[in-house]
Amino acid sequence: MNRRFIKIAVPMTVAIVVLGVLLGKQFIHHSAPQSRTLYGDVDIREIDLAFRQSGRLTQMLVDEGDRVHAGQILAQIDPEPLQEALDMATANTAQARAGWDLLRHGNRPEDIAEARQQLLQAKAQCLYSEQEYRRQKLLQTDGTSSIQQLEAARASRDSAQAAMKAAEQHLHLLQAGARSEDIAAAKARWQAAQAVEAQARTALADTTLKAPADAIIFTRVSEPGSMITPAQPVYVLSVQHPIQVRAYITESDLGQMHPGRLVWIRHDGTATRLSGHISFVSPRAEFTPKTVETADLRTDLVYRIRITIDQPDSQLRQGMPVTVDVPADHRDDL
């Protein structure tokens, strides 16, 4: 009995050990980080360069294939109409500022002194008219003056009194100055004029078209003499820095692909490998088959990644297909 048990147990034990070794190797093989090969292309990064103002195109200073630098002047439209608009806006601003200063600083002492003199004259005339009216009233009582003369004296007295009151009010207004509401309104008009002037100044500056970044002229769309409308492209620029590669990974690779991971890029033009790092992993799946996916379909979803090349060579071109090697070793990751 013991011999039979031993004959059965020993082979089973050996088989179990061998099976365990094989399963362990398989588990280690699958759990160890694996190198991957991806296929992508160099991102196309272009700028449609246009004026913000309309006008006649007078200068196109670069041609297709030229390298340009950020801030370099590329084109010009006729600035004369916009210069005239700026001159008018500047004059309106000065006028509005003068009006605000006039109300804010109050009336001149000379104006107040003149109004005071006018009030003294009005008082003297009022006093004379009052005395004349009283004299005519006495004469009319004695019968030496007519009713018409008395009425004329009364009208002259009333007119003089009204003129004196008007002179008093005029002096009071000059001494009090402008109302706070009028001053605030004048200031608002000046600020509005300043805003219009700033717009005119910006519009004049927009007659010069400058390169927003270092790039290569990909397309020269317009020629001098053409009438340009706002947002109408006159150049198409190809941005050369940074050079980025677009590739796609499956859902099962998401755990290994993270920003900062080192990758190597190859293209057909050379055998040299270029280093790069993953700079972006899309949080959204693309090319989703259906709204409700089975477990098998979910593994077929892909996610876009962007790779920034550290030191690109001159042979890389936008849209060029490239091969991306993802090493299994993470030690060189950022």
Mean pLDDT score, 197-216: 94
Among 75-84, 198-207, 320-329, whose mean pLDDT is lowest? 320-329
- For 232-286, what is each residue's pLDDT tens digit? 999 999 888 888 888 888 887 787 888 888 888 888 767 778 888 988 888 887 7
Highest mean pLDDT among 40-44, 217-221, 311-315: 217-221
| Per-residue pLDDT at 116 exceeds 90 | no
Torsion angle in degrees (nearest 10) through CA of 212, 217, 223, 224: 50
Q: Say whether pLDDT at 31 is over 60.
A: no
pLDDT at 206: 93
* pLDDT tier, 55 (very low <50, low <70, confident <90, very high otherwise): very high
CATH number of 33-44+240-326: 2.40.30.170
Decide if pLDDT at 163 tops 80. yes
Of 116 and 28, the one with more pLDDT: 116
Residue 319 pLDDT: 81
Q: Is 16 exposed, middle or buried (0-12, 13-18, 19+ CB in 10 A)?
A: exposed
**pLDDT for residue 77:** 95
pLDDT of 332 over the 90 cut: no
Residue written as token pair 């195109």: 57
pLDDT at 288 over 50: no
Helix (H) or strand (E) holding 92: helix 80-105
Sign of CA dihedral 54, 56, 58, 63: positive
* 208-233 mean pLDDT: 92
313-316: long-range pairs with CB below 8 Å, 24+: 313/270, 313/272, 313/274, 315/267, 315/269, 315/270, 316/42, 316/243, 316/267, 316/269, 316/274
Q: What is the pTM of this model?
A: 0.60
pLDDT given at position 27: 45
Output the pLDDT for position 91.
96
Predicted local confidence at residue 320, as pLDDT: 83
CA distance 112 to 35: 94
Range of weakest confidence among 9-18, 116-125, 210-219, 259-268: 9-18
Mean pLDDT value of segment 191-202: 96
Whether the per-residue pLDDT at 6 is higher than 50: the answer is yes
Question: Is 46-77+206-239 assigned to CATH 1.10.10.10?
Answer: no
Burial of 58 (0-12, 13-18, 19+ CB in 10 A): middle
